[in-house]
């Protein structure tokens, strides 16, 4: 890379530009979560719930190594600008999803949203990858840990502020423009536009080209990119459907796993033969890169699982609104920010990253273990101090792996190595979302019925089935009062119709083993029963059924809440086991001295 000289002020402006870009991308990864129940309600696509996240993460993951290669060949600046533009286009389209009804090829509103999220992800991949590469270009290695600590804090900030902003916009953002209603959840995507415009301005005006001096024609590995898709889409589908929509040993699930495995083998063969592979397999000869990649995959599986389902627990079990659920996660944010900054400072002082990584993982394990001890009776304060501890453990992982990898490779490999590291990090998060979602769905199916009360006399109404399908959890509706009242009202209407001579209603009442014999006698002799007696019987029956409905609703709501709490706690246990594996793996990440290598951009004092 050609040597460039900049002043400290110019360097700070460049870092500020990159920080705004990183905020844009990191915020979008979390802001959508609290808006999803409202989106599903309006676009009616519960079956595509997880794919709104998966589509973004998968398309982003595929593009991460490609952007890294392109930035090495053409320069960081133009590739990042292109990435931001694609991201903003996808954001605008996501906000418009479903506005014009069902569209040719794109289908209904929910399908449109999934497609547009994939487009958004294609641009979003550039934001993180090139941001970390720029840091490596302009910041010396001995100072880099501090800067990456700050950038990790930005990620932590957006990870927790995002759900709050998403909930606030969803609850309060609905407005009317020229007689047309714009739903509040659409602003979750539109809010990216002004931030993106600011970031584009700063990139254009303050960021240098930062191009590697490589004398060769660029080659893009399109076959490798396609094989990544055919590897992970079937894998994610299998993890999403397995044990819920289809048995794990069914032909469909096994076929999906088979396609994924074959594609992975073909991908490895392809990458070993092409001249410009998406992932340089030679990087795996570097033990620091190999172990850092494996460990970051595992850590991000646990990280994304805990992060995505903590707001769900707060809303469903503690009864907090979408807006306030983001506020209650502020302790997690502060823990992540504090530990991310402190870890960078400590690494800069002791010149070692491994002790910080291990200590961070230990704290993360402790935080997840403490989350497994919560219950339906836990208070908000019980969650607050546990989230502080979890945040302290999660913070160091946001920057340590990138620092370790960049320190271990050649300067000409920084772009590819950084993008590959980010690739594996996103793969871990994507797989984690799929696995934790499957665990939640399957656990709800088994746990919720255990806590459901018996419901004699409801003539086939199955409320446990409602909870077992997990739809209550995903739509934010754990209050069964309205459904129970409707069921009892329908039963009352059937008995009333039977007493008024409706033969179909009479047959239903007489066939129900829970119907009292005295009522059966009245129904059997409905045509001879005086009207006054019918009125009296119906009045007494209405009072009795209303009381039964209230009592049953209380029991059902308590059972749903308990079953949901137990199911989420199972996720925390899964996260704990995964974090223990990450802790074990972190001991095998090699510690090598931090290299005091010269950067491509030299900072000099202003005149």
Is residue 316 within 8 Å of residue 473, measured between CB atoms? yes
Compute mean pLDDT per 10 residues along the chain, 607 residues long, and list them: 65 80 78 77 71 80 76 81 92 90 83 90 83 76 70 70 81 82 88 86 76 58 84 82 80 92 93 82 88 90 77 76 73 82 85 89 93 86 88 82 84 76 81 79 77 56 40 51 79 82 79 77 75 80 82 79 85 91 92 68 50
* Reduced 3-state DSSP string for 339-356: HHHHHHHHHHHHCCCHHH
- Continuous segment of H or E residues that includes residue 417: helix 414-450
Residue 437 CA to residue 451 CA, distance in Å, equals 21
Is residue 475 within 8 Å of residue 543, measured between CB atoms? no
pLDDT in tens, 240-250: 777 767 888 88
Residue 307 CA to residue 15 CA, distance in Å, equals 27
Helices 414-450 and 222-241, axial angle in degrees (round to 10): 10
- Radius of gyration of the CA atoms of the chain, in A: 28
- Specify the pLDDT at position 458: 43
Q: Which residues contact 33 (CB under 8 A, 6 or more apart)?
A: 53, 162, 163, 166, 308, 311
Name the nearest CA neighbour of 577 among 460, 478, 476, 436: 436
User: Model-level pTM greater than 0.95?
Assistant: no
Name the nearest CA neighbour of 37 among 315, 330, 307, 447: 315
pLDDT in tens, 474-527: 444 566 777 778 878 888 888 888 877 777 887 887 787 777 777 777 777 777
Is residue 428 within 8 Å of residue 392, measured between CB atoms? no
Angle of CA points 574, 473, 484, to nearest 5°: 140
Residue 553 CA to residue 555 CA, distance in Å, equals 5
- Specify the pLDDT at position 87: 92
The DSSP code sequence of 224-255 is HHHHHHHHHHHHHHHHHHBTTTB-TTSHHHHH
Please give the structure tokens belonging to residue 522.
Answer: 């009245």
Angle of CA points 145, 364, 435, to nearest 5°: 110
Q: CB count, 10 Å around CB of 531?
A: 9
* 491-to-100, 170, 517, 521, 522 alpha-carbon distances in Å: 41, 37, 16, 17, 16
Instruction: Check residue 458 and report its DSSP letter.
Output: S
Residue 606 CA to residue 604 CA, distance in Å, equals 6
Helices 354-371 and 400-408, axial angle in degrees (round to 10): 150
Taking 3-state DSSP, the helix, strand and coil percentages for the chain, each rounded to the nearest 5, stand at 75, 5, 20
3-state secondary structure of 196: helix
- Specify the pLDDT at position 271: 87
Q: CB count, 10 Å around CB of 519?
A: 17
Q: What is the largest CA-CA distance in the chain?
A: 108
Please give the structure tokens belonging to residue 240.
Answer: 């999403």
pLDDT in tens, 250-293: 899 999 999 999 999 999 999 888 887 878 888 888 898 999 98
- Specify the pLDDT at position 366: 94
Residue 607 CA to residue 602 CA, distance in Å, equals 15
Name the nearest CA neighbour of 135 among 123, 119, 146, 122: 146
Residue 446 CA to residue 546 CA, distance in Å, equals 30
pLDDT in tens, 426-472: 788 878 877 887 787 778 777 777 777 765 544 434 443 344 344 44
* Residue positions counted in the chain: 607
Name the nearest CA neighbour of 361 among 149, 573, 583, 572: 583
Which residue is associated with the tokens 């459901």?
452
Is residue 282 within 8 Å of residue 569, measured between CB atoms? no
Q: CB count, 10 Å around CB of 245?
A: 14
Q: CB count, 10 Å around CB of 516?
A: 10
Residue 417 CA to residue 56 CA, distance in Å, equals 22
* Sign of CA pseudo-dihedral 548, 549, 550, 551: positive
Is residue 181 within 8 Å of residue 174, measured between CB atoms? yes
Residue 76 CA to residue 82 CA, distance in Å, equals 10
Mean pLDDT of the chain: 79
Residue 119 CA to residue 513 CA, distance in Å, equals 57
């Amino acid at each position: 890379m050609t040597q460039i000289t900049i002043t400290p002020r110019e360097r700070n402006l460049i870092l500020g530009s990159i920080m705004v870009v990183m905020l844009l991308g990191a915020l979008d990864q979390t802001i959508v979560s609290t808006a999803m129940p409202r989106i599903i309600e309006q676009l009616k696509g519960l079956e595509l719930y997880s794919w709104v996240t998966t589509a973004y993460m998968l398309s982003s993951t595929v593009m991460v190594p490609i952007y890294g290669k392109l930035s090495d060949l053409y320069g960081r600046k133009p590739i990042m600008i292109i990435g931001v533009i694609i991201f903003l286009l996808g954001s605008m389209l996501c906000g418009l999803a479903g506005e014009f009804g069902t569209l040719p090829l794109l289908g209904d509103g929910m399908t449109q949203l999934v497609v547009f999220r994939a487009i958004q992800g294609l641009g979003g991949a550039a934001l993180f990858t090139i941001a970390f590469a720029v840091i490596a270009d302009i910041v010396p290695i001995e100072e880099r840990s501090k800067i990456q600590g700050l950038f990790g804090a930005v990620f932590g900030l957006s990870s927790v502020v995002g759900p709050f902003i998403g909930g606030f916009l969803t609850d309060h953002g609905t407005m009317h423009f020229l007689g047309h209603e714009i739903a509040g959840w659409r602003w979750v995507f539109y809010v990216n536009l002004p931030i993106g415009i600011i970031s584009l301005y700063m990139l254009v005006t303050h960021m240098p080209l930062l191009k590697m001096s490589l004398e060769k024609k660029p080659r893009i590995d399109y076959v490798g990119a396609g094989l990544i898709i055919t590897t992970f889409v079937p894998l994610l589908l299998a993890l999403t459907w397995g044990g819920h929509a289809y048995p794990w040993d069914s032909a469909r699930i096994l076929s999906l796993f088979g396609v994924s495995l074959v594609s992975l083998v073909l991908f490895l063969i392809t990458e070993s033969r092409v001249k410009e592979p998406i992932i340089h397999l030679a990087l795996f000869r570097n033990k620091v890169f190999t172990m850092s990649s494996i460990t970051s995959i595992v850590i991000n599986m646990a990280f994304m699982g805990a992060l995505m389902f903590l707001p769900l627990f707060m809303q469903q079990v503690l009864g907090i609104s979408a807006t306030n659920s983001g506020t209650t996660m502020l302790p997690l944010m502060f823990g992540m920010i504090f530990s991310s900054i402190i870890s960078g400072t400590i690494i800069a002082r002791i010149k070692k990253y491994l002790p910080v990584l291990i200590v961070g993982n230990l704290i993360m394990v402790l935080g997840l273990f403490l989350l497994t001890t919560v219950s339906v009776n836990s208070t908000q304060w019980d969650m607050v101090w546990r989230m502080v501890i979890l945040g302290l453990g999660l913070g160091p992982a946001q920057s340590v792996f990138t620092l370790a990898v960049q320190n271990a490779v050649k300067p000409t490999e920084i772009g590819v190595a950084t993008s590959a590291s980010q690739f594996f990090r996103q793969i871990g998060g994507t797989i984690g979302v799929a696995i934790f979602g499957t665990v939640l769905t399957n656990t709800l199916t088994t746990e919720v019925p255990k806590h459901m009360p018996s419901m004699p006399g409801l003539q086939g109404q199955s409320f446990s089935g409602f909870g077992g399908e997990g739809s209550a959890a995903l739509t934010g509706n754990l209050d069964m009062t309205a459904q129970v009242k409707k069921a009892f009202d329908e039963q009352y209407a059937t008995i009333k119709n039977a007493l008024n001579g409706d033969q179909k209603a009479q047959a239903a009442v007489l066939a129900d083993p829970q119907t009292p014999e005295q009522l059966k006698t009245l129904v059997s002799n409905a045509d001879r029963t005086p009207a006054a007696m019918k009125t009296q019987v119906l009045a007494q029956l209405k009072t009795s059924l209303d009381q039964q409905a209230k009592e049953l609703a209380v029991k059902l709501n308590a059972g749903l809440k308990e079953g949901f709490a137990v199911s989420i706690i199972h996720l925390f246990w899964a996260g704990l086991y995964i974090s223990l594996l990450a802790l074990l793996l972190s001991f095998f990440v090699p510690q090598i001295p931090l290299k005091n290598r010269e950067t491509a951009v030299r900072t000099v004092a202003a005149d």
